[in-house]
């Protein structure tokens, strides 16, 4: 029996993607840190969609996490057809505000765990008649964002890696889709410690996690390589490409002062 594995699945975009996949008949494997939230989410999805759901509580920022997830899924006899790399977070403010360990932890989760899971599950995905990898980047991936510098850089990595891998795997059973949401009504602003100005800017353009998930899953199943959610975010990415980089970066920095 085939499953869709979703990281960061206990809340926000990850939870919404899990619900969207369940609505389309996919059985689910949910991975996140919070055991209680995972159990609650799994129960809600089973009751609503009548699909099979299992979950694994794990800190995905640990270097061993990708291997732990693979070992767990194989021990349970699960076959993964869809891999959704959603888990991630940001830290806002001056670079020196955070310790080296805090920066590395975010980089580990946003990049290394994503690459690790992709590489480890790739052989299983290649045995499927049709398989999917969905990576969640960010509209911040399209430019440098002062005071959100490392987060934006990690998402630029996710974007570039995903686009390259999409082309590498184009003639096989796997499609790779990268989705770049902008401001979304999740816990991201609190985890990122956004200031008042950043909070207000996000609130003006917030999309719901459900709207982002619908766009993401539709793009994934259509085999698209890349999608930016929402007109404002598409416009922002275009302007970041067209306008002088210094101008774009100084404007972005003002949001996070």
Would you give the DSSP letter of residue 208? P
Catalytic residues: 151
Q: Mind giving me the DSSP string for 5-68?
A: EEESTTSHHHHHHHHHHHHTT-EEEEEES-HHHHHHHHHHHHHHH---EEEEE--TTSTTHHHH
Distance CA 122, CA 83 (A): 9
Answer whether 25's CB lies under 8 Å from 19's CB.
no
| Sheet containing strand 2-7, strands side by side | 53-57, 27-32, 2-7, 79-85, 131-136, 174-180, 226-228
């Amino acid at each position: 029996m085939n499953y869709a594995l979703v990281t960061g699945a206990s809340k926000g975009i990850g939870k919404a993607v899990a619900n969207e996949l369940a609505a389309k008949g996919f059985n689910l494997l949910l991975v996140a840190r919070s055991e209680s939230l995972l159990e609650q989410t799994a129960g809600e999805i089973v009751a609503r969609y009548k699909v099979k759901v299992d979950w694994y509580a794990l800190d995905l920022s640990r270097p061993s996490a990708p291997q732990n997830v693979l070992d767990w899924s194989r021990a349970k006899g699960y076959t993964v057809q869809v891999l959704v790399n959603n888990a991630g977070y940001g830290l806002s403010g001056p670079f020196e505000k955070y310790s080296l360990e805090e920066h590395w932890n975010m980089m580990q989760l946003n990049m290394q765990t994503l690459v690790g899971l992709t590489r480890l599950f790739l052989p299983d995905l290649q045995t499927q008649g049709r398989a999917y990898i969905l990576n969640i980047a960010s509209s911040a991936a399209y430019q440098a964002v002062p005071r959100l510098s490392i987060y934006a850089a990690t998402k630029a990595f996710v974007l570039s890696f995903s686009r390259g891998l999409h082309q590498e795997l184009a003639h096989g059973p796997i499609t790779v889709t990268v989705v770049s949401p902008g401001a979304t009504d999740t816990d991201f602003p609190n985890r990122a410690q956004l200031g008042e100005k950043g909070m207000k800017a996000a609130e003006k353009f917030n999309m719901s996690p459900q709207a982002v998930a619908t766009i993401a899953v539709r793009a994934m199943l259509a085999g698209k390589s890349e999608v930016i959610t929402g007109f404002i975010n598409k416009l922002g990415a275009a302007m970041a490409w067209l306008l002088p980089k210094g101008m774009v970066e100084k404007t972005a920095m003002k949001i996070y002062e």
